[in-house]
Amino acid sequence: MKSLLLQILFPIQGDRLLADTTKRIIKEHRNKSQDRVYLKIVDLKIDRHLNNPFFNTCQENLFMKYKRILVTGGAGFLGSHLCDRLIDQGHDVLCLDNLFTGSKDNIRHLIANPHFEFIRHDIIHPIYLEVDEIYNLACPASPVHYQYNPIKTIKTSVMGAINTLGLAKRVKATILQASTSEVYGDPEMHPQKEEYWGRVNPIGIRSCYDEGKRAAECLMMDYHRQNGVRVKIVRIFNTYGPRMAEGDGRVISNFILQALKGQDITIYGDGTQTRSFCYVDDLVEGMMRMMATSDEVHGPVNLGNPCEFTIIELAETIIRLTGSQSKIIHTPLPQDDPKQRQPDITCAKRLLDWEPKIHLEEGLSKTIHYFQTTYGG
């Protein structure tokens, strides 16, 4: 017996009409064959169909709560993993990216999937789409990339937020903003809780990113208060895993590549500054749980791994796992480099029942494997 996926698009049809139309289509199909019929409902207001008696009595059909989901920055490191998970769950995914730091290689395996669509677009310009949910990830995330064109970076955060929020408002979609621990700046509070307002240098070389993300958070809350847009803000702490870009200057990819090539491992300062590292699968799970929260939950919610390591410890672990002969050397600390960074995830545990599951060594091994197979070494 074959399966037929019946995809129904709903512009404005009411429940009654929906039930009648669907019944008729299924009946006609059954008259022709014995195939099992699966229903896929594509509707901005999917919830209104859940109480429809027709679907509750339609035993042999599988009613699936699929959504159309926009992921801006979907060809980047985090975005591509998020696209994978959303596709796995059966959703239709629109991946929007200008490929500034992202790559088609990250999404190549999804291109042939009929539920996946790539849109090459710069989010500083408005876009008109019909979607149920928006994950707004578009923004260069590593200092090398966001300092390359700082004006463009802040435009991406601010105009990107305005354009995705405008879209969310128009189509009544829920929007999740990928904010960052950088909104805390060089914090006096350790670990950082969401209530802490941060200590950010507004005129430094990292400000284009930090202040851009702070402005994006502000816009999220203003669109919510002024226009009733359903918004969710997550503050992401250092995340790592396969598909991090080579040469983006992030500490884990730097160290792994240096170790694999047998080069010196460069540590900024004395290496006693601490960081916490979250594996990408854990992070994506946290973002999706945040999106699934009820309307009154907006965040911000910290997402990251609270286990803290010094940069020296990280370098030594990577040298051990790669079996490298690399030596550790020290270079001056860059401007505004925070000394400590550790999330307080009490809020994520309470609201999302979430905490990271993947140990640093396990995540590092998977990441090392990716860099070995992708870049050799």
Ligand X SMILES: NC(=O)c1ccc[n+]([C@@H]2O[C@H](COP(=O)([O-])OP(=O)(O)OC[C@H]3O[C@@H](n4cnc5c(N)ncnc54)[C@H](O)[C@@H]3O)[C@@H](O)[C@H]2O)c1
Give the residue numbers marked as catalytic. 209
Q: According to the binding rule CB under 6 A, does residue 178 interact with ligand X?
A: yes
Q: Do 79 and 141 contact (CB within 8 A), yes or no?
A: no
Mark the segment that binds ligand X (CB under 6 A) among 94-102, 268-276, 308-316, 363-371: 94-102
| Binding track over 53-92 against ligand X, x by CB under 6 A | -------------------xx-xxxxx-------------
Looking at the Cβ atoms of 49 and 74, the one nearer to ligand X is 74
Where is 240: in which H helix or E strand?
Answer: strand 239-240
Of 22, 98, 254, 276, the one binding ligand X (CB under 6 A) is: 98
Q: Is the torsion defined by CA of 253, 317, 206, 287 positive or negative?
A: positive
The single residue listed with the structure tokens 């005129």 is 203
Burial 200-233, CB ≥16 within 10 A → b, else e: beeeeebbbbbbbbbebbebbbebbeeeebbbbb
CA distances from 162 to 135, 158, 159, 201 (A): 13, 6, 5, 24
Residue with tokens 């091994």: 365
Minimum CB distance to ligand X, residue 48 (Å) = 32
The residues in 222-241 that bind ligand X, with binding defined as CB under 6 A, are 236, 238-239
**Site for ligand X (CB under 6 A): which residue of 139, 220, 290, 311?**
139
Find the shortest distance in angstroms from Cβ 241 to ligand X: 9
Which residue blocks in the chain are alpha helix, DSSP H? Answer: 15-32, 53-57, 77-88, 143-146, 150-171, 207-227, 251-260, 280-291, 311-322, 346-352, 360-375
Among 134, 141, 260, 288, which residue sits at the site for ligand X (rule: CB under 6 A)?
Answer: 141
Q: Nearer to ligand X by C-beta: 92 or 210? A: 210
CA distance 66 to 78: 22
Asked whether the beta carbons of 202 and 183 are under 8 A apart, the reply is no
How far is 281 from 45, CA to CA, in rounded Å? 29
With respect to ligand X, which residue has the nearer C-beta, 73 or 223? Answer: 73
State the Cα–Cα distance between residues 199 and 141, nearest whole angstrom. 19
Among 22, 156, 302, 326, binds ligand X (CB under 6 A): 156
Nearer to ligand X, 18 or 278 (CB): 278
Least CB distance to ligand X at residue 305 (A): 11
| Residue 140 binds to ligand X (criterion: CB under 6 A) | yes
Q: Does 356 sit near ligand X (CB under 6 A)?
A: no
Helix, coil or strand: residue 373: helix
308-310 and 274-276 beta bridge pairing: antiparallel
Using CB under 6 A as the binding rule, whether residue 94 contacts ligand X is answered as no
Residue 137 binds ligand X, judged by CB under 6 A? yes
Among 123, 233, 265, 368, binds ligand X (CB under 6 A): 123
Residue 253 near ligand X by CB under 6 A = no
Q: Which of 50, 62, 99, 307 binds ligand X (CB under 6 A)?
A: 99
Contact string 309-348 vs ligand X (x = CB under 6 A): ----------------------------------------
Binds ligand X (CB under 6 A): choice among 69, 102, 219, 368: 102
Please list, in sequence order, all residues whose beta carbon lies within 8 angstroms of the beta carbon of residue 349, skipping any fewer than 6 positions away: 355
**Measured distance CA(314)–CA(102) in Å, rounded:** 26
Using rule CB under 6 A, residue 161 touches ligand X? no
Per CB under 6 A, which region of 131-139, 191-199, 324-332, 353-361 contacts ligand X? 131-139
Which residue is associated with the tokens 């809020």?
Answer: 347
Work out which of 69, 83, 95, 138 binds ligand X, going by CB under 6 A: 138
Residues that contact ligand X, how many (by CB under 6 A): 28
Closest to ligand X by CB, 213 vs 230, is 213
Q: How many CB atoms lie within 10 A of CB 321?
A: 16
Contact set with ligand X (CB under 6 A): 72-73, 75-79, 97-102, 122-124, 137-141, 156, 178, 180, 236, 238-239, 245
